[in-house]
Amino acid sequence: MKVEAITLREIQMPLVHFFETSFGRTTERRILLVTVHTDGPEGWGECVAGEDPFYSEESVETAWYATERYLAPALLGKNVERGADVPALIGKIRGHRMAKCAVENAVWDAEAQLRQVPLWKLLGGTRTELACGVSIGIQNSHEQLLEKIATELAAGYRRIKVKCKPGWDVEIFEKIRARWPEIVLSCDANSAYTLDQIDHLKKFDQFNLLMIEQPLWHDDFYFHAQLQKQLKSAICLDEVIHGRRDAKAAAELGACRIINVKVGRVGGFSEAIAVHNVAQAAGIPVWCGGMLESGIGRSHNIALSTLANFSLPGDVSASKRYWKEDIIEPEVKISPDGFIPLPQSPGRGFKIKNDLIEKLTVKKQVLRA
């Protein structure tokens, strides 16, 4: 496929409900979309960088800069046959993984269309059923959180993850467990604690949590390993895992028992598959994390989640939890018992709503060879 042009665009989409983590509240998403125009199909990628550099150092602006200045020029005018060929072309550029992911995944997206195979098969997926969980942000009140959990359980979701931070943890776990003693429950601290709060964190053990996600610093393995030794609950690492070496180091150190794989955080499908493989060899189950994606990123997360070691329910949930109208059709839906059916059509399996995307676009740039 000859890469003839690459379009960068920013779309803005209000969330149907605000999403709050230990690092802040989001009410509207600004999303960078990348389109790779080839002499054959057109591939789409979504950049999961946030509005602010609070989850990682990347933001919409840094991703735009990296793509315009370095990533797009590395591909334009070249023959790129496979998504898997992209990392070698952009490997010289350090960091900017979320930006790299959007570009690489757009090429995989085009490749799957060219080869007329479902993207999930191209990635090597074998799972036929995807169990879905939800990530529920910090709410204005405990009552509001319990209500949200009730709604998601009624919708069929198979694992509830609640965001937590000091002051929004043990008390809410108590209330959740009092009402639902048996549900599969986990929590995500997004680095809200320090190791000197270990006695407090040990209290989490009484709630039979499937995992505690990234409790300590965003860039730490070492102290997570110390914490894991003293906790009964499994630690799951998110923020700190940037690639296969990190997954291997975390496994060898005993820093976690579970890994959250986010394709944007590790820099694209190639590295996500490598992380999956390293974790599998180390006996560590993985699941697919979400980053409040629009339908394009969502469809790519679905494809990735079909790899064999994605054995825990992911954060890949229905479009309508986030958007009044998603930018793909059909929207992502889940079955009443909490599974996403796999698309069988070639490519990502969801069509792009071009008119809607144009309407949501606030900034656009077309780069040519």
Task: Catalog residues that contact Mg ion under the rule CB under 5 A.
Answer: 188, 213, 238
Contact string 28-57 vs ligand OSB (x = CB under 6 A): ---------------------------x--
Q: Taking contact as CB under 6 A, which single stretch among the options 198-206, 288-296, 327-335, 359-367 is the one that binds ligand OSB?
A: 288-296
What, of Mg ion, ligand OSB, none, does residue 315 touch, CB below 5 to 8 Å by kind?
ligand OSB
Tell which one of 6, 74, 212, 291 touches ligand OSB (CB under 6 A): 291
**What residue 290 binds from ligand OSB, Mg ion, none (CB within 5 to 8 A, per partner kind)?**
ligand OSB
What is the DSSP secondary structure assignment for residue 309, as one 8-state letter?
A: T
User: If you ran DSSP here, which 8-state letter would residue 243 be given?
Assistant: S
**What minimum distance in Å lies between the beta carbon of 246 and ligand OSB?**
16
Alpha helices in 129-182 (DSSP H): 142-154, 170-179
**Does 264 participate in binding ligand OSB (rule CB under 6 A)?**
no
3-state secondary structure of 256: coil
Q: Does 215 bind ligand OSB (CB under 6 A)?
A: no
Q: Which segments within the chain are labelled E, that is strand? A: 3-21, 24-38, 42-47, 129-131, 134-136, 160-163, 185-188, 212-213, 235-237, 258-261, 286-288, 328-329, 339-341, 351-352, 361-368
Looking at residue 188, the DSSP 8-state letter turns out to be E
Asked if residues 102 and 33 have their Cβ atoms less than 8 Å apart, the reply is yes
Query: Least distance (Å) from Mg ion to the CB of residue 133?
Result: 12
Pick the closer one to ligand OSB by CB: 53 or 77: 53
In whole angstroms, what is the distance from residue 25 CA to residue 29 CA? 11
Q: Closer CB to ligand OSB, residue 240 or residue 292? A: 292
Q: Say whether 262 is catalytic.
A: yes
Q: Which of 100, 161, 163, 165 is catalytic?
A: 163
Q: Does 314 bind ligand OSB (CB under 6 A)?
A: no
CB 351 within 8 A of CB 42: no
C-beta nearest to ligand OSB: residue: 290
- Collect all residues with Cβ–Cβ distance below 8 Å to 165 and sequence separation of at least 6: 22, 138, 189, 190, 192
Site for ligand OSB in 163-202 (CB under 6 A): 188, 190
> Counting contacts by CB under 6 A, is residue 315 touching ligand OSB?
yes
- Asked whether position 220 contacts ligand OSB by CB under 6 A, the answer is no
Assigned token pair, 12: 């803005």
100, 161, 165, 262: the catalytic one is 262
CB of 21 or CB of 309, closer to ligand OSB: 21
Smaller CB distance to Mg ion: residue 38 or 135? 135
- Candidates 168, 317, 318, 338; binder of ligand OSB (CB under 6 A) is 317
Q: Which residue has the tokens 């350090």?
A: 94
Give the binding range for ligand OSB (CB under 6 A) out of 171-179, 270-278, 290-298, 336-344.
Answer: 290-298
Neighbours of 114 (CB within 10 A): 16
Burial 261-283 (b: 16+ CB within 10 A, else e): bbbbbbbbbbbbbbbbbbbbeee
Q: Name the nearest CA neighbour of 313 among 326, 302, 300.
A: 302
Q: How far is the CB of 369 from Mg ion (least distance, A)?
A: 38
How near is the Cβ of 215 to ligand OSB at its closest, in Å? 12
What percentage of the chain's residues is helix, strand, coil (to nearest 5)?
Answer: 40, 25, 40
Residue 163 known to be catalytic? yes
User: DSSP alpha helices (H): ranges in 170-292?
Assistant: 170-179, 198-202, 222-230, 244-253, 263-266, 269-281
Q: Would you tell me which residues interact with ligand OSB (CB under 6 A)?
A: 21, 55, 135, 188, 190, 238, 289-292, 315, 317
Active-site residues: which are they?
Answer: 163, 262
